[in-house]
Chains A and B, each alone.
With several copies, the nearest count.
Chain A
């Protein structure tokens, strides 16, 4: 499992800036929004937390279909399924490597981008905290979606369609935490809920993911 994780990380580095691209997409979405809604600070400041969370979510989304697609195409997936590691472990390792290549860098860089959107000063630390707690859930849910659609042509869009509704609770609590942070009202409740979602996802979804993979390999 460690071997798989290391291989996936190495592959995403080799594939040309694995870490950079998710980040770059995040950056670009955040930059596009002012072009879309206009540069007015009065408009930007209140929407900054929400936009950052939505952008992080979309950036995570865009790299989801690669989680299993490459291994499926070159035939690694059936080989992993018959290897002496449990398929649940494969699912978990894939989610973790997606988080390391996408969620983690996103989390680190989000405060910087908050700045471009004139985010309220009090919100920075909560942005960081909510993304740190919530991004792993995004990766795990995404891995589940990727397992459902592996092997389907045009899987990319279908995958988004399946995964986005599942992302909604995480997004709501995460963005809410940051907004409350910006207001100065209590952030504990939403932050805790984000944490609970993440824990729940990691406790349950590996099994669903492995089941979906088994069905798809049949």
Chain B
């Protein structure tokens, strides 16, 4: 479903990672690990098509991907429901009732998103993923500022609702999500100092 082949990606014109290859079948997920600055965010953005790879390929069914980082496109001036409805409409869907339940947002439905606490806002951001119905997810530290209970809730949703229904996901995180999926440490893939490519390659 997701096929990454010998990918090399850059950040700020500097090659960061190289020789990254893996494949995920429907229902599988992969956890990206590695110290700060190793290039997790860069890799996710490249796979999501937000920046072009230096070389290598990323394959998944056109229009099936979703990327989520800390900034989650949540408008403070809209309520929780309005936020979710908007993203649903943009994707030509309706908001499933289960999205509220899965992220414990029932009580917060009519609150303006701006008045949520950090963790509540994060839950709303995750609920967006349940709403847009994309099957290949690229998640950058999705559980930042969630309490342990919410982390488990997210893991449950991921296992049962997303992977269980044939989706797949690549998740960068520093904590243990309690998901039983393989992890990929990116440290061995750090690009050599003299790696090819990058915006300035022509000038070297």
Contacts and interface: CB of A to CB of B under 8 A. Distances in A.
| In the complex, A touching B (Cβ < 8 A) | yes
Contacts of A84: 63, 90-92
B2 to A, nearest CB: 15
Nearest to B85: A3
Contacts of A77: 73
Given A15-B77, A74-B73, A79-B73, A217 B50 contact: yes
Given A3-B89, A7-B86, A82 B49 contact: yes
Interface string A1-24: 001100100110011000000000
Instruction: Give chain B's interface residue range (CB within 8 Å of chain A).
Output: 20 to 34
A114 to B, nearest CB: 34
Interface in A69-97: 70-71, 73-85
A58 B4 CA distance: 49
A78 B67 contact: yes
Secondary structure at the A interface, as helix, strand, loop or mixed, is helix
Most buried by B among A71, A74, A217: A74
A14 B77 CA distance: 6
Contacts of B63: 84
B171 interface: no
Contacts of B92: 84
Nearest to A80: B90
Most buried by A among B50, B52, B75, B92: B75
Contacts, number: 66
B51 A10 contact: no
B51 A4 contact: no
Given A11-B77, A218-B50, A82 B89 contact: no
B86 A82 contact: no
Contact of B52 (A71, A85, A218): A218
Given A4-B90, A74-B73, A75-B71, A11 B78 contact: yes
Contacts of A4: 86, 90
Given A78-B50, A218-B51, A218-B52, A83 B74 contact: no
Nearest to B89: A3
B72 interface: yes
Contacts of B76: 74, 153
Contacts of B132: 83
A14 B87 CA distance: 18
A74 B71 contact: yes
Interface of A: 3-4, 7, 10-11, 14-15, 70-71, 73-85, 153, 217-218
Interface of B: 48-52, 63, 65-67, 69-78, 82, 86-87, 89-92, 132
The 5 closest A-B pairs by CB, nearest first: A75-B71, A76-B73, A3-B89, A14-B77, A79-B73
21 contacts: A3-B89, A4-B90, A7-B78, A10-B78, A73-B71, A74-B71, A74-B72, A74-B75, A74-B76, A76-B73, A78-B50, A79-B66, A79-B67, A79-B72, A81-B50, A82-B49, A82-B65, A83-B90, A83-B132, A153-B77, A217-B50
